[in-house]
């Protein structure tokens, strides 16, 4: 099969639900860059990102029967799987133990080295997020890339919970509008 073909979102979903491996290859080739960017922003390491991305695509393959187009777009669903898997990875005991066993200067050096890697530049979404005002960007990074709850963000930034909720909601609506124009 020619993987350069462009499938519609509906075709991708139907084919994946039929366990079509060519379609799975297609989504990997066409979406792995954006998914890599989301994971990398969270785990801050090329090595860990490569581990997590395998789990993400396995979850996509295994979870496609539960995908509901009424709840959101396929791309958004995949990004949410990537985000949640990366956050779960950071919270895992194995990762926490690995961090404890790694010398701090080495860990800091590896993050710095990986963040300047040209293996995967910022995804388009990360580029758009970086265009937001610093306070809105910080809220999104805390909520979506670091896994903080709105209550935790409120406590961390010492701002009222209602303000956090309102700012996150308005920021997401603004991003939605930007993405509409961007596509």
What pLDDT does residue 98 have?
A: 58
- Asked if 36 and 49 count as a contact pair (C-beta separation under 8 A), the reply is yes
Nearest C-alpha neighbor of 126 from the set 35, 65, 48, 18: 35
**DSSP reduced 3-state for 167:** helix
Q: Are residues 13 and 100 in the same domain?
A: yes
Residue 9 predicted with pLDDT over 50 = yes
**Residue-wise DSSP of 64-83:** GGG--GGG--HHHHHHHHHH
pLDDT digits (tens, 9 = 90+) for 15-34: 999 999 999 999 999 999 98
Mark which of 117, 134, 149 sits at the end of a domain: 117
What pLDDT does residue 174 have?
A: 81
Residue 126, domain extent:
122-183
The domain total for the chain is 2
Q: Name the E strands within 64-135.
A: none
pLDDT digits (tens, 9 = 90+) for 119-174: 333 456 667 777 788 888 888 888 877 777 888 889 889 999 999 889 988 888 88
Confidence of residue 10 (pLDDT cuts 50, 70, 90): very high
Tally of CB atoms within 10 A around 99:
11
- Could you tell me the two tokens for 10? 């509906």
What pLDDT does residue 119 have?
A: 33
Q: Are residues 132 and 89 in the same domain?
A: no
Question: Structure pTM?
Answer: 0.59
pLDDT digits (tens, 9 = 90+) for 61-104: 999 999 998 988 899 899 999 999 998 888 775 655 555 555 44
What pLDDT does residue 96 have?
A: 58
Burial of 97 (0-12, 13-18, 19+ CB in 10 A): exposed
Mark which of 84, 117, 150 sits at the end of a domain: 117
- 27-31's contacts with Cβ under 8 Å and 24+ in sequence apart are 27/60, 27/78, 28/57, 29/3, 31/75, 31/78
């Amino acid at each position: 099969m020619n993987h350069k073909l462009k499938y519609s979102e509906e075709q991708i979903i139907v084919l994946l639900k039929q366990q079509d491996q060519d379609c799975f290859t297609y989504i990997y080739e066409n979406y792995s860059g954006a998914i890599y960017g989301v994971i990398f922003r969270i785990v801050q390491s090329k090595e860990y990102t490569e581990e997590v991305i395998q789990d993400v695509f396995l979850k996509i393959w295994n979870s496609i029967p539960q995908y509901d187009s009424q709840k959101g777009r396929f791309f958004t669903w995949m990004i949410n799987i990537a985000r949640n898997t990366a956050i779960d990875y950071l919270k895992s005991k194995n990762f926490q133990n690995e961090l404890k066993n790694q010398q701090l200067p080495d860990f800091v050096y590896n993050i710095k080295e990986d963040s300047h890697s040209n293996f995967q530049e910022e995804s388009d979404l990360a580029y758009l997020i970086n265009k937001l005002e610093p306070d809105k960007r910080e809220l999104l990074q805390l909520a979506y890339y670091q896994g903080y709850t709105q209550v935790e963000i409120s406590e961390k930034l010492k701002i009222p919970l209602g303000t956090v909720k309102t700012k996150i909601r308005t920021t997401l609506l603004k991003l939605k509008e930007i993405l509409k124009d961007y596509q």
